[in-house]
């Protein structure tokens, strides 16, 4: 709220006065931007001379009524959220246990293993999986459900791994001429591995030679959720309000369209926005040179005004991204209440990621930071084709399959990043591309952007595909893309 405090100082300077240190402190502790806004409004109205200097009491008197009003407004807004048909199935918001303790990571990875193990268990086709400790020092065939801790290709062209479960760890081996070698195994993924424990001799003591792997995957035909959906869902993301490359004219065209009599526009009941609602501040070096609005609360205030122009019978579903005001490590909680309070009642806020049930449809929302990591590691994944990365996440049943790359993970006791339930719709953003696809029975959507090519993207020859709205008819599963670019 630095920008807002600067406005107060400016108002006072016009009246030849300044703030005392206790007044500064008081402003620092004010949570809600409305409260500072009310001080500015009152100061503007003040015709009489202001004292010199202005102390805490001189400004706190402007806030009291507004403060109660603000809290009441936020509370009543949250109570009145149109949540009857939107149920939260999984979301870290309000559930975070992460304290930054070293033990947190151990607990996190244990839960990650157990969660995905339970999914792989169902795919073992009668193969009895054994704990790693029970197959050590034996030889012969065995099946384990393990997490791949590390993996490298030896000078002989074979893959050497460390595999582990909750009972212990051992060395794994994949021959360079086996079919399994072609599988793009990633560190930290959980697999069912069938193979042979070699005899306790030579260089390969206590080594498990993997001959076959099974991933958790998703079923080819899943039981379709019972849905009773009243209209269409639209998807758009990465709005980046505040950036000087925000596409204002294109956004205005979209707003005109969605308020028009166009048949598709009239049938839209939900608008899904998977993160990077604003451009934020301090996200990358020298970002301020590319900002049109330099105060983060002003960016949200502007977005709130833009959302206010959308039809009120559309429920707007949002999650944060890496440019928003919440912690950068995933899972990210929903936007703070003071920011939520700026928006109209039909805008809902969830964490990144979130699994929601909308009229019986399971919708998985994830901003998509790990798409870049996967495109760096997997040959079949391209950062220009986000769907290719989303497919790999579904195969591995995890949104951030590898730990320790660009996407940072907050070690929660429960793994909010595991894909425990197969979604009907899986939506991401982040990549600033527009793409729709399906994998088995799950519809995958990457939701465009409202930001033109940035300096950073120019340097790296990254071409965004902006100003598009994807509209899904949930009764026919047909998708149409409206282009405002």
Of 215 and 468, nearer to Fe ion (C-beta) is: 468
3-state secondary structure of 192: strand
Minimum separation from the CB atom of position 104 to Fe ion (A): 28
Q: Are 120 and 190 in contact (CB under 8 A)?
A: yes
| H or E element that contains 76 | helix 56-79
Of 165 and 276, nearer to Fe ion (C-beta) is: 276
Minimum separation from the CB atom of position 325 to Fe ion (A): 14
How are strands ordered across the β-sheet holding 86-91? 86-91, 354-358, 361-365, 425-428, 442-447, 434-439
Q: Are 17 and 48 in contact (CB under 8 A)?
A: no
- Which stretches does DSSP call E strand in 328-417? 347-349, 354-358, 361-365
> 14-39 as b/e, with b when 16 or more CB fall inside 10 Å?
eeebebbeebeebbeebebbbbbbbb
Of 210 and 444, nearer to Fe ion (C-beta) is: 444
Rounded to whole angstroms, the Cα distance separating 415 from 107 reads 10
Structure tokens at 422: 């197969």
Of 63 and 236, nearer to Fe ion (C-beta) is: 236
Minimum separation from the CB atom of position 276 to Fe ion (A): 3
Of 62 and 350, nearer to Fe ion (C-beta) is: 350
Structure tokens at 477: 């599963």
* Interface with Fe ion (CB under 5 A): 238, 276
**CB neighbour list of residue 92: distance below 8 Å, 6 or more residues apart:** 331, 332, 333, 351, 412, 416
Minimum separation from the CB atom of position 471 to Fe ion (A): 21
Q: Helices 56-79 and 33-45 sit at what angle, rounded to 10 degrees?
A: 130
Of 346 and 447, nearer to Fe ion (C-beta) is: 447
Minimum separation from the CB atom of position 431 to Fe ion (A): 8
Rounded to whole angstroms, the Cα distance separating 274 from 364 reads 10
**Distinct helix (H) and strand (E) counts, the chain:** 13, 17
Of 276 and 412, nearer to Fe ion (C-beta) is: 276
Minimum separation from the CB atom of position 323 to Fe ion (A): 6
Rounded to whole angstroms, the Cα distance separating 412 from 246 reads 34
Rounded to whole angstroms, the Cα distance separating 402 from 261 reads 46
Of 93 and 322, nearer to Fe ion (C-beta) is: 322
CA angle 301–358–237, rounded 5-degree value: 40
R_g of the chain, CA atoms, integer Å? 26
Minimum separation from the CB atom of position 398 to Fe ion (A): 22
Of 172 and 280, nearer to Fe ion (C-beta) is: 280
Rounded to whole angstroms, the Cα distance separating 20 from 17 reads 10
Which letter does DSSP use for residue 179 in this model? G
Which letter does DSSP use for residue 418 in this model? B
Minimum separation from the CB atom of position 240 to Fe ion (A): 6
Rounded to whole angstroms, the Cα distance separating 276 from 430 reads 7
Minimum separation from the CB atom of position 451 to Fe ion (A): 7
Minimum separation from the CB atom of position 316 to Fe ion (A): 18
Minimum separation from the CB atom of position 482 to Fe ion (A): 20
Of 66 and 276, nearer to Fe ion (C-beta) is: 276
Nearest to 240 by CA among 303, 282, 288, 333: 303
Of 102 and 459, nearer to Fe ion (C-beta) is: 459
Q: Where are the alpha helices (DSSP H) in 129-227?
A: 132-135
């Amino acid at each position: 709220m630095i920008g807002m405090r600067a406005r107060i100082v400016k108002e006072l300077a016009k009246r030849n006065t300044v703030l005392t240190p206790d007044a500064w402190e008081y402003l620092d502790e004010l949570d809600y931007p409305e409260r500072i806004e009310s001080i500015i409004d009152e100061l503007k109205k003040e015709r009489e001379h202001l004292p010199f200097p202005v102390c805490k009491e001189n400004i706190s008197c402007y806030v009291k009524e507004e403060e109660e009003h603000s809290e009441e407004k936020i509370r009543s807004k949250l109570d009145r959220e149109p949540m009857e048909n939107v149920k939260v199935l999984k979301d870290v918001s309000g559930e975070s246990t992460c304290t930054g303790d070293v033990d947190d990571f151990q607990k996190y990875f244990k839960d990650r293993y157990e969660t995905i193990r339970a999914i792989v268990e169902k795919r073992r086709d009668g193969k009895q999986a054994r704990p790693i400790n029970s197959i050590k020092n034996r030889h012969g065939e065995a099946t384990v459900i393990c997490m791949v801790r590390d993996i490298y290709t030896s000078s002989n062209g074979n893959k050497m791994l460390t595999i582990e479960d909750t009972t212990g760890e051992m060395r794994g081996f994949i021959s360079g001429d086996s079919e399994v070698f072609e599988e793009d195994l990633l560190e930290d993924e959980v697999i069912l591995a069938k193979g042979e424990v070699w005899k306790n001799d030579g260089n390969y003591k206590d080594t498990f030679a993997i001959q076959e792997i099974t991933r958790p995957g998703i079923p080819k035909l899943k039981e379709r959720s019972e849905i009773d959906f009243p209209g269409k869902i639209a998807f758009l993301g990465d709005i980046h309000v505040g950036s000087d490359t925000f596409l204002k004219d294109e956004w205005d065209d979209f707003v005109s369209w969605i308020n028009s009599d166009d048949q598709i526009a009239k049938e839209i009941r939900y608008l899904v926005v998977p993160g990077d609602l604003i451009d934020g501040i301090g996200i990358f070096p020298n970002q301020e040179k590319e900002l049109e609005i330099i105060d983060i609360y002003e960016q949200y205030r502007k977005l709130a005004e833009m959302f206010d122009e959308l039809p009120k019978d559309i429920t707007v579903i949002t999650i944060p991204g890496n440019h928003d005001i919440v912690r950068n490590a995933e899972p990210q909680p929903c936007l703070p209440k003071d920011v939520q309070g700026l928006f109209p009642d039909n805008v809902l806020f969830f964490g990144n990621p979130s699994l929601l049930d909308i009229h019986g449809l399971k919708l998985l929302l994830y901003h998509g930071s790990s798409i870049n990591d996967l495109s760096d590691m997997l040959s079949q994944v391209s950062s220009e084709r986000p769907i290719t990365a989303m497919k790999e996440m579904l195969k591995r049943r995890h949104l951030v399959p590898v730990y320790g790359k660009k996407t940072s993970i907050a070690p929660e006791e429960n793994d909010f990043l595991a894909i425990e339930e197969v979604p009907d719709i899986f939506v991401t953003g982040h990549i600033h591309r527009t793409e729709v696809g399906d994998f088995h029975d799950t519809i995958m959507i990457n939701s465009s952007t409202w930001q033109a090519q940035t300096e950073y993207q120019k340097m790296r020859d990254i071409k965004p595909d902006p100003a598009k709205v994807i509209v899904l008819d949930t009764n026919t599963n047909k998708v149409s893309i409206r282009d405002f670019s």
